[in-house]
């Protein structure tokens, strides 16, 4: 039987030149014949854009959709756009995408690009993914947390009933040319389909601008800019791709004739996206990475040296269309001493709280012996269980509670979800919803020319480059002299919200803008990013929908409260942020109450900065580590609001958790542990007392 689409659609000319095209028949066969398949090939060979189209054409959509996961939002969206263009259909119909808070699919969608996080949420509603015939996990070598969890879950793919038949779900795992054997072994020795590459040699040069001493700090930014300038003045025609750590989106347009394009990119360009025409790479050797900081007990975005394998990926980007050169700003010593062999998978370096809750809700009780491709340290799993216990999402036996089942429905961090659910129980979600939405979108405040020291350097260099008749393509509109104007406006906005609560300030901005006649003009006048605020509006609507659905449940909690709006908001926030409580210790310093006892300071961007002397107890949303540990998005609270919650932070023993994490626990065992714990506490108290006596 042929697919009706097959005859009418032939694919575009350009895609027939891609390396994958020659192998399409064998590839389709391999997918048809195997339940699991690993597909590997150089970046740009056509895996992401072509394979779903081939399978679609070959009729594999007859029994369900083809879903392709990406670790990054931008990649999921841009690839879906590209593929819909290639197929000549409008985006959102046959080809669509879904990322957190943005669903561009319809009931007709058969090829669906999505983030790995979205796929994980779909598994929550349908463990056997009945809607899909093929699931493709893409960019697996990136080892994102969600992709790793999906690998473990899909390893045991359930069969799905369809038209009275039982069909296995097909799982294709795609990766750049790294660790493919390991993947194949993990998936029960499944076959590996390697697409032969078509690459040109890349000369790799160490440029000695950075050594091990510059491991931390921002010296690399200047060095990168110098290098880009050198390449521009000394090298033959060809575009430059600069790997920095900034988060700006790439610009894809070809450069006008006679002009050299210079793209400044983050890690994303290493494998997820292909930019044609690049001959030179300038590699900073650094990347921004989310790491769990055990000192402060939170995930923190750090700038760290990249791994050697990542450096090789970056270099490879220069040899796509012709021979190229890769200029590494660091020296050989930096390579040897500072750069690890492989990038540590996200699962081994970030907080696991949300995924552990997801696994528990999926009925995976033993989260320690779950099939991880690389096992996270046990203490990370226990930390996550401890957090979930503190939030009342699981009980002492490790079972999910009613609250936990409600929490898992929200694509938000557990603390924020708990605060939102508390507000809904009190019937005042209209104050928390906008705050949760505002905290879920990118930074809303326009702060021209101030936050990135890199940006300032780049602006200066842009000017130089333009004078030598070159365009440097990146987004930078801010001018340092506008900084004051923005600051004054933001201070005024803070004052309008009472001047001492960053969360309330977010709520006020949300409400004021939405009520204004022309919201985009309002944003511009108040130095607020309209795009971010607009997505906050949409996020709020979606969170409201989830909440509305959950409120229909009989077990949805209900409580009553009377008080001012600010007080109500702060009390709800305490329910989710009691793990982020700090008390002023001396001067402008605060001490956290979560057992780490870290010293923190209020970040200058907070409306409470400078008011420290009047504060006692505060809660904060997140942490920024520079020379100091700063807390951001802060509000003052009263001790009695968290008094009942703080003991929970010290209540549970990691020993108990390591047991409940492994197996179902009986009541008798539970009682035995409790006895043991009390006895141990008693012993410690006795020891303390005897030490005191000795001192005397
Ligand atoms: O997945 P893989 O790296 O193997 O290749 P791909 O992403 O499917 O890219 C195949 C081709 O499509 C490349 O030549 C890209 O330049 C092009 N492409 C594009 O122009 N725009 C996109 N958003 C994605 C791909
Ligand atoms: Mg790809």
In this prediction the ipTM stands at: 0.98
Name the residue of 27, 46, 136 whose CB sits within 8 Å of the most ligand 1 atoms, as the mutation to test its pocket: 46
Establish whether residue 680 lines the binding site of ligand 1, counting it when its CB lies within 6 angstroms of any ligand atom.
no
Joined tokens for residue 23: 């192998």
pLDDT of residue 270: 57
- Report pLDDT for 345: 92
pLDDT at residue 636 is higher than 90: yes
Q: Ligand 1, closest atom to CA 78?
A: 23
pLDDT tens column, 459-502: 333 333 433 333 333 333 345 567 888 889 999 999 998 889 99
Poorest-confidence range of 127-136, 329-338, 428-437, 561-570? 561-570
Q: Is the pLDDT of residue 524 over 80?
A: yes
Report DSSP state, residue 40. E
Is the shortest distance between the CB of 47 and ligand 1 below 6 Å?
A: yes
549: tokens are 């659905």
- Ligand 1 centroid to residue 257 C-alpha, Å: 23
Please indicate whether residue 274, judged by its CB atom, sits closer than 6 Å to ligand 1: yes
Taking the C-alpha atoms of residue 554 and residue 92, their distance in angstroms, rounded to an integer, is 35
pLDDT reading at 72 higher than 50: yes
What tens digit of pLDDT does each residue of 143-181 get? Answer: 999 999 999 999 986 666 555 556 789 999 999 866 789
User: What pLDDT shows up at residue 239?
Assistant: 81
* Least-confidence region, from 35-44, 142-151, 252-261, 537-546: 252-261
Interhelix angle 353-361/414-425, rounded to 10 degrees, is: 60
Task: Convert 288-339 into a string of H (helix), E (strand) and C (coil).
Answer: EEEEEECCCCEEEEEEEECCHHHHHHHHHHHHCCCCEEEEEEECHHHHHHHC
Average pLDDT over the chain, rounded to an integer? 84
Q: How confident is the model at residue 616 (pLDDT cuts 50, 70, 90)?
A: very high
CB distance 49 to ligand 1 below 6 Å = yes
Straight-line distance from the first to the last Cα atom of the chain, in angstroms, rounded to the nearest whole number: 92
- The residue whose CA is least distant from atom 13 of ligand 1 is 44
Report whether residue 580 contacts ligand 1, using a CB cutoff of 6 Å.
no
Per the DSSP assignment, residues forming a β-bridge with 430 are: none
Ligand 1 within 6 A of CB of 592:
no
| Per-residue model confidence as pLDDT tens digits over 242-258 | 887 784 333 333 444 55
Ligand 1 pocket check for 44: Cβ under 6 Å:
yes
pLDDT at 433: 97
pLDDT in the model for residue 502: 96
Is the Cβ–Cβ distance between 222 and 461 less than 8 Å? no
Q: Above 50 in pLDDT, residue 562?
A: yes
In the reported structure, the alpha carbon of residue 44 is separated from the centroid of ligand 1 by a whole-number distance in angstroms of: 5
Q: What is the best residue among 40, 49, 86, 198 to mutate for testing ligand 1's pocket, by most ligand atoms within 8 Å of CB?
A: 49
Does 244 contact ligand 1 (Cβ within 6 A)? no
For residue 462 and ligand 1, the question of a CB distance below 6 A is answered with no
CA 682 to the chain's CA centroid: 44
Q: Looking at per-residue confidence, does 624 or 206 come out higher?
A: 206
Centre of ligand 1 from the C-alpha of residue 318, in Å? 15
- Residue keyed to tokens 């602006």: 459
Give the whole-angstrom CA distance, residue 124 versus residue 355: 11
DSSP state for residue 46 in the 8-state scheme: S
Q: Check if 78 has its Cβ closer than 6 Å to any atom of ligand 1.
A: yes
102 CA distance to ligand 1 centroid (A)?
22
CA of 176 to the centre of ligand 2 (A): 8
The 8-class DSSP code of residue 133 comes to E
pLDDT tens readout for residues 362-385: 999 889 999 999 999 988 899 899
Q: What is the pLDDT of residue 4?
A: 42
pLDDT of residue 383: 87
Element (H, E) at 567: helix 565-577
Q: Residue 655's pLDDT is what? A: 55
Going by alpha carbons, the residue nearest to atom 21 of ligand 1 is 82
Q: Which of 128-142, 219-233, 619-633 has the lowest mean pLDDT?
A: 219-233
pLDDT category of residue 671 using cuts at 50, 70 and 90: confident
- Weakest-pLDDT range from 135-144, 289-298, 350-359, 607-616: 289-298
Nearest ligand by distance to the CA of 69: 2
Position 416 scores a pLDDT of: 94
Nearest CA, atom 16, ligand 1:
274
Ligand minimally distant from the alpha carbon of residue 44: 1
Instruction: Please write the tens of the pLDDT for every residue from 393-416.
Output: 999 888 999 999 999 999 999 999
What are the φ and ψ backbone dihedral angles of 329, each rounded to 5 degrees?
-70, -15
Asked whether residue 339 carries a pLDDT value surpassing 70, the answer given is: yes
Question: Quick one: DSSP state of residue 3?
Answer: -
Confidence of residue 679 (pLDDT cuts 50, 70, 90): confident
Q: Is 146 in the pocket of ligand 1 (CB under 6 A)?
A: no
Specify whether the CB–CB gap between 144 and 76 falls below 8 A. no
Q: 619-633, 642-656, 679-693 — which is least confidently predicted?
A: 679-693
- What is the pLDDT, as a whole number, of residue 393? 96
Q: Residue 465 in contact with residue 595, Cβ under 8 Å?
A: no
CB contact at 8 A, 335 and 211: no
């Amino acid at each position: 039987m042929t697919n009706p689409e097959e005859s009418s659609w032939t694919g575009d000319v350009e895609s027939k030149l891609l390396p994958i095209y020659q192998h399409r028949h064998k590839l389709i066969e391999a997918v048809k014949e195997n339940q699991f398949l690993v597909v590997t090939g150089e970046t740009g060979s056509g895996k992401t854009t072509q394979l779903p189209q081939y399978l679609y054409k070959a009729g594999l959509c007859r029994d369900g959709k083809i879903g392709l996961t990406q670790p990054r939002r931008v990649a999921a969206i841009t690839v879906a756009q590209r593929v819909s263009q290639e197929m000549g259909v409008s985006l959102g119909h046959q080809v669509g995408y879904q990322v957190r808070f943005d669903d561009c699919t319809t009931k007709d969608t058969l090829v669906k690009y999505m983030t790995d996080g979205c796929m994980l949420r779909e598994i929550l509603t349908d463990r056997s993914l009945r809607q899909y015939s093929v699931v493709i996990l893409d960019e697996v070598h990136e080892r994102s947390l969600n992709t790793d969890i999906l690998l473990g879950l899909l390893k045991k793919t359930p069969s799905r009933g369809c038209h009275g038949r039982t069909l296995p779900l097909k799982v294709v795992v795609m990766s750049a040319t790294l660790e493919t054997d390991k993947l194949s072994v993990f998936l029960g020795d499944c076959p590996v389909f390697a697409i032969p590459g078509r690459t040109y040699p890349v000369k790799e040069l160490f440029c000695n601008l950075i050594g091990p001493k510059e491991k931390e700090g921002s010296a690399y930014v200047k060095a990168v800019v110098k290098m880009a300038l050198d390449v521009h003045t000394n090298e033959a025609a060809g575009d430059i791709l600069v790997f920095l750590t900034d988060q700006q989106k790439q610009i894809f347009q070809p450069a006008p004739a006679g002009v050299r394009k210079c793209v400044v990119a983050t890690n994303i360009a290493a494998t997820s996206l292909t930019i044609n025409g690049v001959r030179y790479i300038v590699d900073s050797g650094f990347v921004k990475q989310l790491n769990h900081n055990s000192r402060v007990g939170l995930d923190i975005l750090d700038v760290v040296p990249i791994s050697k394998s990542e450096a090789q990926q970056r270099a490879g980007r220069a040899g796509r269309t012709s021979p190229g050169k890769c200029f590494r700003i660091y020296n050989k010593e930096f390579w040897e001493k500072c750069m690890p062999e492989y990038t540590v998978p996200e699962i081994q370096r970030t907080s696991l709280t949300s995924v552990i809750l997801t696994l528990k809700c999926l009925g995976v009780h033993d989260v320690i012996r779950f099939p991880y491709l690389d096992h996270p340290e046990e203490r990370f799993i226990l930390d996550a269980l401890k957090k979930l216990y503190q939030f009342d999402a699981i009980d002492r036996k490790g079972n999910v509670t009613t609250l936990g089942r409600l929490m898992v429905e929200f694509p938000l961090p557990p603390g924020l979800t708990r605060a939102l659910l508390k507000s809904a129980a009190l019937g005042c979600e209209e104050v928390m919803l906008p705050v949760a939405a505002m905290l879920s979108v990118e930074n809303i405040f326009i702060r021209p020319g101030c936050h990135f020291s890199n940006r300032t350097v780049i602006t200066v260099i842009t000017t130089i480059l333009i004078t030598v008749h070159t365009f440097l393509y990146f987004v930078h509109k801010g001018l340092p002299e506008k900084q004051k104007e923005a600051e004054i406006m933001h201070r005024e906005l803070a004052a309008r919200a009472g001047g001492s609560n960053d969360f309330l300030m977010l709520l006020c901005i949300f409400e004021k803008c939405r009520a204004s006649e022309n919201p985009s003009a309002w944003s511009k006048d108040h130095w607020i990013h309209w795009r971010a605020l607009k997505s906050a509006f949409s996020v709020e609507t979606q969170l409201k929908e989830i909440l509305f659905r959950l409120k229909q449940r009989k077990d949805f909690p209900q409580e009553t409260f009377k008080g001012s709006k600010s007080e109500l908001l702060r009390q709800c926030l305490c329910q989710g942020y009691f793990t982020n409580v700090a008390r002023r210790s001396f001067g402008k310093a605060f001490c956290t109450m979560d057992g780490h006892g870290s010293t923190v300071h209020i970040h200058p961007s907070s409306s409470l900065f400078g008011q420290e002397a009047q504060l006692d107890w505060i809660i904060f949303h997140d942490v920024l580590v520079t020379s100091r540990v700063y807390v951001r998005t802060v509000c003052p609270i009263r001790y009695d609001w968290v008094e009942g919650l703080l003991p929970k932070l010290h209540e549970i023993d990691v020993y108990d958790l390591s047991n409940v994490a492994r197996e179902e626990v009986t009541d008798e065992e539970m009682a035995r542990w409790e006895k043991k714990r009390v006895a141990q506490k008693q012993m410690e108290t006795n020891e303390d007392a005897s030490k005191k006596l000795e001192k005397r």
